[in-house]
Chain A
Amino acid sequence: MSARTSREGRNVADLVDQPVEVGAPKRSVRARLILEDGTEYTGVSFGHEGSVAGEVVFNTGMVGYPETLTDPSYRGQIVVCTYPLIGNYGVPSSSSEGERLDSSFESTEIHAAGLIVADYSPQHSHWNAARSLGQWLDAEKIAGLSRIDTRSLTQRLREHGSMLGRIEFEGDPVEQRDPNVENLIEEVSIKEPILYGEGQDKRVVLVDTGAKHNIVRCLLRRGVEVLRVPYDFDLDGEKKIDGLMLSNGPGDPKMADPSVQQVRRALDRGIPTFGICLGNQLLARAIGAETYKLKYGHRSQNQPVVECGTNRCFVTSQNHGYAVDSDSLPRDWRVWFQNLNDGSNEGLRHAWAPYRSVQFHPEARPGPVDSEFLFDEFVRMLSS
């Protein structure tokens, strides 16, 4: 064989620790992922070289790492991708479109604390890519580890529920951190209200407990004005609310009392309300229903749900460890959707009043768009 290639000059270590960016070869750096049960995995860094601690969670989506990383629901979490090949299509440029919404991402920054993959691809290929995933992580000071057996890691996380853990670089120790006891919602929520699509007849107030941009986009596309407000914003001061949208968000719903209070008052005012993910749990708590931690969280883009009482099923994108206890619903409230896999609650609706919520993500991004029509239904039920 006459194999003499341009790569011949590289030394073994360079090849082995292959995440080498085009034009900017750097020596590979190893780091450890240490779980709270003491399990350790050693990987090769491809992002920012700084230790970090958080809750380790996995997601089984096969596409959508830019969307996942910028989803505020992942605040404080070290995300494990079960799909092994990550980075393939790079990261798009963050050119902003109108309404202060970034077209390519779900928020303005990476919220995940770290990223764990099996086989990071330093060489990416996509017409839309502006840089590699590694470069992006580095720029946003987020740690990334490749070369980890993400399947055995996922099995461990699954059986344990989720676990705290840390990515530790040599000589850079870090304290364990439990993001669940922090007020993550406050961290990810906006500080001042923002008005999008000003001038439309109908106004939806979006309570931002960590809202993904696509919720805003989905509403704007349907010709309504969106007032995005902080999680603890006093709604009583807002006279014009044709509908209330409760967003997704990080952490335990029990930590979100200020928002729950607001929801209660909005319901008292009879404002049409729609909740997504954490919003489902907030609505549940507002009406006095219970939430609990799931044995196996839903962290994937392929969660099947059925609309109760029908044969209509949807594939949905989900990311939650807590669920609403369907048995705890008060009178006149119904289970709207149910998970086909484990039977857990996937949505609530009032028997006649315009209050609804879903546990999954009709706004998708990442994931299937099967249930986006729910935004149409919500817009139809806005107060006239």
Chain B
Amino acid sequence: MNTRDTPKTVLLLGSSALKIGEAGEFDYSGSQAIKALKEEGVRTILMNPNIATIQTSDYLADEVYFLPITPEYVERVIAKERPDGILLAFGGQTALNCGLKLHDSGVLDRYGVRVLGTPVETIRDTEDRELFVGRLHEVDAVAPRSKAATSVDEAVGIAKELGFPVMVRIAFALGGLGSGVCRDEAALRELAGKGLAHTSQILVEEYLEGWKEIEYEVVRDRFDNCITVCNMENFDPLGIHTGESIVVAPSQTLTNHEYHKLREISIRVIRHLGVIGECNIQFALDPKSDEYRIIEVNARLSRSSALASKATGYPLAFIAAKLALGHGLHRLPNAITRSTSAFFEPALDYCVVKIPRWDLSKFRNVSRKIGSGMKSVGEVMSIGRTFTEALQKAIRMLDIGRHGLVANEQTEAEADLDVELSEPTEERIFSVVEAMQRGYTVDRIRELSHIDKWYLEQISQVVGIGAQLESGAGGPLHEELLREAKVRGFSDRQIERLSGVSAADVRTQRIDAGIVPVLRQIDTLAAEYPAQTNYLYLTYSGDQDDVELPVDNAVLLLGSGAYRIGCSVEFDWCCVNAGLTLRREGLRTVMLNYNPETVSTDYDEFHQLVFDEISFESVLEICDKVKPQGVIVSMGGQIPNNLAMKLHEAGVRVLGTSPESIDAAENRHRFSSLLDELEIDQPEWAELSDLDGARRFANEVGYPVLVRPSYVLSGAAMAVCTNDDELSIYLERAARVSSEYPTVISKFLENAKEIEFDAVAQDGDILVYAISEHVENAGVHSGDATLVFPPQRTYQETIRQVRNSARRIAERLNINGPFNIQFIAKDNAVKVIECNLRASRSFPFVSKVLKRNLIEMATQVIIGRRVDKFDSKVFEIEHVGVKAPQFSFARLDGADPTLGVEMASTGEVGCLGDDFSEAFLKAMISVGYRLPVRSVLLSLGPIESKAELLPAVRHLHEKGVEIHATQGTAKFLNDAGISATALGWPLDDEAGGTLDYIRSGDADLVINIPKNDRADELTNGYMIRRTAVDYNVPLITNRQIAMRFIEAMGRVQPADMATKAWSEYAIA
């Protein structure tokens, strides 16, 4: 393309549901791309079934399709919308892979759709290892010695040639799926087998143990202008996926020679490959010589590019979209300074630390080791003027109960530190600290962990300060020690835990001594030129604020922190929409959040963005400076919600529902008596501090019971127990029950239905509400449940009761803002399970289905505007929305892919249809189920489950679906006249058994309904489920989902499913 040839209509592919390896960063990059396209007047069509994203908002793209990102659906949208350009780089590997398929099959050519930005050939060169290595050699760039294999035997042969240990990598993978280090042939055979099930080609390469891992974010335009916006150094050495590593920007241990050598190679390689837009290049650097290797190039926006954008203030995705349209870097303005050019490389005068957030404790059987595959579900980023200020802040931001590097609860078990250091788990940073405290030398820790000595020395400094604070315990704090501690990132609370001086006193003392943080700008030029940026952070290493304070007419809006299981992009949607509303209402929003994967941390969304901790300390400090009219705590999920009462007590004005009411809903005892007063039913519960009492209560209300310990040693936090033995075992082994750590036990209702009530109230009067039903019966965590709105199978009487109960609760708590109540219903008896006086994860879903922005209304209420009631004709809407969970079990080695009372899903989609079946199937396809189903493997669990599913299976049989089944199920089906081939149980180890069948790839679907039964059957079931996941075969483990899925397949043919944009689903 020699001249700019701006397309008229562009199709942008999103990344679908959040999953491990593909998270919120693609909402951020897609949203920026849409803004860039809009600025150019390009008509933009967005396809993304992730309904909770900002990018699917009505004010961004011209048309939004909540449809699966599969070649089939994308082709349909292309045929309908006839775009002349397509962007593949903004929706992660999902969009890229789908786009490549469309290109290969000739669809793009056929419809005259041009791939904008980086050409397909370049993408191919970076995705195919052999092509890639060849391209590197052409410009004298060095790749690890390696060869591609298409079979397990071939892989073993290559490994023997290279010598063990070797690294196995998988082409066309996201987040390093299935990659790993193999130290011997057996390990290689296993990993290669799994990898080749997902892809046709794997790579076996030399393993560069202990090398540093360095990344550069590179931008190139069509004029061949090329810059590196940011470099980053992994704290963890090579071998740990960069998504699993603590990452530091800029690099800390590289000399000028190394920094610029790798930079030059980056530019040389990217020019040669011909990227147009943005990409990421990863290096291995020998810590003992000048040797390097190029690990990979991602020719698309990535998690690292989102991080780099936030770390530098350089809007990579926005610029990449502009470059894809043919602009030159030098003609685009620097978005931060507005006076300088986009062709420049940011100079940082601060240090950035990213730490991944894992949620491994939510999964049964999962391996806690971290390595070359991704397991983390989110990340935090922190900014400081010392490394340890940033590091300690980041640890607290993880929200995993740690106060920083030191002053944490000691873990019970005497871990083998040598193992902990050399075979990292998600806890390794704490093992480093513990090793120092136990007297390991820095050199020894370096040998075991391969973490660079500079980082270890920095940590050691903090350990030393911790010991100083502790040794003076009880006495007054030495002012200089206090100053030093704050500069090194100690929180007031952390100092309290070490010194015994209360956090409040620490705060008073340091304020008296003038030890307060300053608000600093991220200005991309390290103060070389004046900048008007509103992108800020707090640091205790500074003399003066960079911005004018206080801020008139400001509202402080608290974000949601790291994405983790249970708190994800939906809260970001709420925050961004709240901010937009505040702006429209003439207020200035100061946003506080620290998640680099979000849109809410885009500085152009708000008057000011403070990228920092959401803690009592930081919120108070910001309030002291900004002097906002109040703080909004109800948009960012549980973290801000939990601060409400403390802030209120500290004299901060909390806007919206009063903190007393929030506490009344959060405090189990207070809320329970409130329900009693209102004569609203709730499941029986008790808080107990000993085993006898627990058993007595369980027998009184009758098993099963739901146990929710307040302190958990390991494994799942919540469980359902069906008898005394299970209860005893659970409470003794998993949870340390004591008066200090009481356990809440409640009656668990079987075969009951769960209902979500999302609403906004003003002065206790409900303005708008949405009732959704779960497809799954109670027992599946609401975050893992498939939600239907408006409800299709709920009795009118139940709905009436739900509405009435909610009305009374809203009135009683005088709710001003968003709230959510979860109900459980059985035979028209409705009970309240939970009530949150904040926005819930279903707010974006119901808002978009209803086409009424509940957050906009809630925000108006919160700032005291009178808001009209929404005339709730919700049951007259002509379409149905279905929200389905996305699981990431494939990435979690060993995890049992079942559903339970602990949430396990990492994301969700929401699709629309003219009826339930259509919306449901679209949602299921969006989260990875495949149609048509020609063969199934059935293992239907207990007899009542078999019986319940019989009509559905008969239907499959009649449609000619080939049925294989485990022995009991096969016998049951054959007796019922349905021919099913019986296969042996995994533990029986027979040839031709279930596992072989799954591995053969012949099954289109596995339905395994777990029995809550004998251990060996659990194991059998586990092996079936796990094998299905490992071999990428769609799996259903829930009875109601199985029923609805089979029914829906019978009712709707894929070809009949409407290709309708969101705008075409009208509300009457």
Binding partners A and B = yes
A240 within 8 A of B: no
Say whether, besides A63-B256, A313-B343, A370-B267, A5 and B439 are in contact (CB < 8 Å): yes
A155 within 8 A of B: yes
B187 within 8 A of A: no
Query: From A302, which residue of chain B is reached at the shortest CB distance?
Result: B345
Give the most central of A13, A61, A121, A125: most B CB within 10 Å.
A125
A141 within 8 A of B: no
User: Are A3 and B467 interface neighbours, CB within 8 A?
Assistant: yes
State the Cβ distance, B229 to closest chain A Cβ, in Å.
Answer: 10
CA distance in complex: A233, B901 (Å): 85
User: Are A149 and B543 interface neighbours, CB within 8 A?
Assistant: yes
User: Are B525 and A300 interface neighbours, CB within 8 A?
Assistant: yes
- Interfacial chain A residues near B466, Cβ < 8 Å: 3
Interface size class of B (residues with CB under 8 A): 35 or more
User: Are B467 and A7 interface neighbours, CB within 8 A?
Assistant: yes
State the Cβ distance, A280 to closest chain B Cβ, in Å.
Answer: 20
User: Are B457 and A82 interface neighbours, CB within 8 A?
Assistant: no
Give the interface segment out of B88-96, B103-111, B246-254: B246-254
User: Are B452 and A340 interface neighbours, CB within 8 A?
Assistant: no
Q: Which of B250, B256, B349, B460 contacts A365 (CB 8 A)?
A: B256
- Interfacial chain A residues near B252, Cβ < 8 Å: 85, 88
CA distance in complex: A95, B250 (Å): 28
CA distance in complex: A298, B328 (Å): 24
State the Cβ distance, B497 to closest chain A Cβ, in Å.
Answer: 8
State the Cβ distance, A146 to closest chain B Cβ, in Å.
Answer: 11
State the Cβ distance, B895 to closest chain A Cβ, in Å.
Answer: 32
1/0 per residue B263-284: CB within 8 Å of A?
Answer: 1100100000000000000000
A60 within 8 A of B: yes
- Interfacial chain B residues near A5, Cβ < 8 Å: 436-437, 439, 463-464, 467
- Interfacial chain B residues near A230, Cβ < 8 Å: none
Question: For residues 92 through 127 of chain A, which have their beta carbon under 8 Å from a beta carbon of chain B?
Answer: 92, 118-119, 121, 123-127
User: Are B526 and A300 interface neighbours, CB within 8 A?
Assistant: yes
User: Are A63 and B289 interface neighbours, CB within 8 A?
Assistant: no
Query: From A13, which residue of chain B is reached at the shortest CB distance?
Result: B480
B685 within 8 A of A: no
Give the interface segment out of B141-149, B527-535, B841-849: B527-535
CA distance in complex: A172, B180 (Å): 61
Query: From B530, which residue of chain A is reached at the shortest CB distance?
Result: A158
B71 within 8 A of A: no
CA distance in complex: A158, B526 (Å): 11
Q: Which of B329, B387, B525, B542 contacts A85 (CB 8 A)?
A: B387
B1063 within 8 A of A: no
Say whether, besides A15-B481, A85-B387, A88-B454, A6 and B526 are in contact (CB < 8 Å): no
1/0 per residue A146-161: CB within 8 Å of B?
Answer: 0001111011001000
Give the interface segment out of A180-188, A260-268, A304-312, A328-336: A304-312
CA distance in complex: A306, B332 (Å): 13
- Interfacial chain A residues near B410, Cβ < 8 Å: 1-2
CA distance in complex: A237, B575 (Å): 75
B385 within 8 A of A: yes
State the Cβ distance, B413 to closest chain A Cβ, in Å.
Answer: 14
- Interfacial chain B residues near A58, Cβ < 8 Å: 527-528
A241 within 8 A of B: no
Say whether, besides A8-B467, A15-B484, A340-B340, A61 and B347 are in contact (CB < 8 Å): yes
State the Cβ distance, B251 to closest chain A Cβ, in Å.
Answer: 8
B483 within 8 A of A: yes
1/0 per residue A123-137: CB within 8 Å of B?
Answer: 111111000000000
Say whether, besides A3-B470, A152-B543, A367 and B437 are in contact (CB < 8 Å): no
Query: From A18, which residue of chain B is reached at the shortest CB distance?
Result: B461
State the Cβ distance, B680 to closest chain A Cβ, in Å.
Answer: 45
User: Are A154 and B527 interface neighbours, CB within 8 A?
Assistant: yes
Question: For residues 1 through 45 of chain A, which have their beta carbon under 8 Å from a beta carbon of chain B?
Answer: 1-8, 10, 12-13, 15-16, 18
State the Cβ distance, B289 to closest chain A Cβ, in Å.
Answer: 7
B255 within 8 A of A: yes
- Interfacial chain B residues near A18, Cβ < 8 Å: 461, 484
10 more A-B residue pairs beyond the given contacts A304-B340, A306-B343, with a C-beta to C-beta distance below 8 A: A5-B439, A5-B464, A82-B347, A119-B386, A152-B544, A154-B349, A158-B530, A340-B344, A341-B529, A367-B256
Instruction: Give residues in B with beta carbon < 8 Å to A.
Output: 223-225, 227, 250-256, 259-260, 263-264, 267, 287-289, 328-330, 339-341, 343-351, 385-387, 406-408, 410, 436-437, 439, 452-454, 457-458, 460-461, 463-468, 470-471, 478, 480-481, 483-484, 498, 520, 525-530, 541-544, 546
Instruction: Give residues in A with beta carbon < 8 Å to B.
Output: 1-8, 10, 12-13, 15-16, 18, 58, 60-64, 66-67, 82-85, 88-89, 92, 118-119, 121, 123-128, 149-152, 154-155, 158, 296, 298-304, 306, 311-313, 315, 340-342, 364-370
